Amino acid sequence: MKLAQNVALLPITHEGVGSLNLVLAWDDNHLVLIDAGIPDQADMIAKAIENEGFRAEDLTHIIITHQDWDHVGSIHDLMKLAPSAKTVAHKKEAPYIDGRELPIKLAAKLEKYDSYSEENRAGLDNWKKTYTNSPIPVTEQVQDGQVLPICGGIEIVHVPGHTPGHIAVYFRESRIMVCGDAANVEDGKLVGFNPIHIHDVDMANESLEKIKGYDLNGAVTYHTGFLAYS
């Protein structure tokens, strides 16, 4: 679904996690994907990109908002299609993505590993393998306020709280903010994410206000879709 002249929403559905709202942006020389769904969704993502008139093989950048498995899951398979694509993440998030550190939520659950059922332990084992067996290289580490000179200007907005290095992505030309899990849409408004999934609630609240302070035509949230501003 086209949101602006060079920005499209790619809703990818999955029975277990509902709708995941990836974003595609482009200019004459670049094709940018924001977030990469859960494992084994590369074919669905590639088809969604094709439906917008492009090819996954032509991706130049994959921007990762944060470390969680439902945002990085299909990166390896997408990179097989587009091996020259750069992976981009905040410098504070990179160690949790590239395998130097276990993701925060995974590490917390592993501390209670013996208390889980056999089925849940198997799920944790698979989750861990996603990161430890196939680390995801972060080829470009970014920071708050940095502007990538592509697609009309892509501003990196550091919005910690959900995770320490979580970023939002602001398209300066179209004034659309991609929030990742830093916000949800509820009753026509941007609201915070469920506190039980947040690393630091105070920081998350500050980050939400930071997002709201931008001049916005619209905002994309990963789990609750697009909010258009009048």
CB atoms inside a 10 Å sphere around CB 207: 26
If asked whether residues 74 and 108 sit together in one domain, one would say: no
Q: What is the pTM of this model?
A: 0.92
Write down the pLDDT at residue 107.
85
CATH of the domain at 7: 3.60.15.10
If asked whether residues 114 and 194 sit together in one domain, one would say: no
If asked whether residues 113 and 26 sit together in one domain, one would say: no
Structural domain of 194: 2-98+136-228
CA distance 206 to 198: 13
If asked whether residues 52 and 144 sit together in one domain, one would say: yes
If asked whether residues 83 and 113 sit together in one domain, one would say: no
Q: 213 to each of 115, 157, 177, 216, 230, how far by Cα in Å?
A: 43, 12, 11, 8, 16
Write down the pLDDT at residue 230.
66
Write down the pLDDT at residue 94.
95
**Residue among 95, 75, 77, 96 nearest 86 (CA):** 75
If asked whether residues 10 and 38 sit together in one domain, one would say: yes
Q: Residue for token digits 């609750």? A: 224
Q: How many domains does the chain have?
A: 2
Write down the pLDDT at residue 185.
93
If asked whether residues 94 and 179 sit together in one domain, one would say: yes
Which residues in the chain land under pLDDT 70?
Answer: 16-17, 133, 230
Rg (CA), the chain: 17
What are the strands of the beta sheet with 218-221, ordered from one edge?
A: 147-148, 154-158, 167-171, 176-180, 218-221, 225-228
If asked whether residues 197 and 117 sit together in one domain, one would say: no
If asked whether residues 125 and 151 sit together in one domain, one would say: no
Last residue of a domain, one of 90, 118, 135: 135
Write down the pLDDT at residue 197.
76
Q: What is the DSSP letter of 101?
A: S
Write down the pLDDT at residue 16.
66
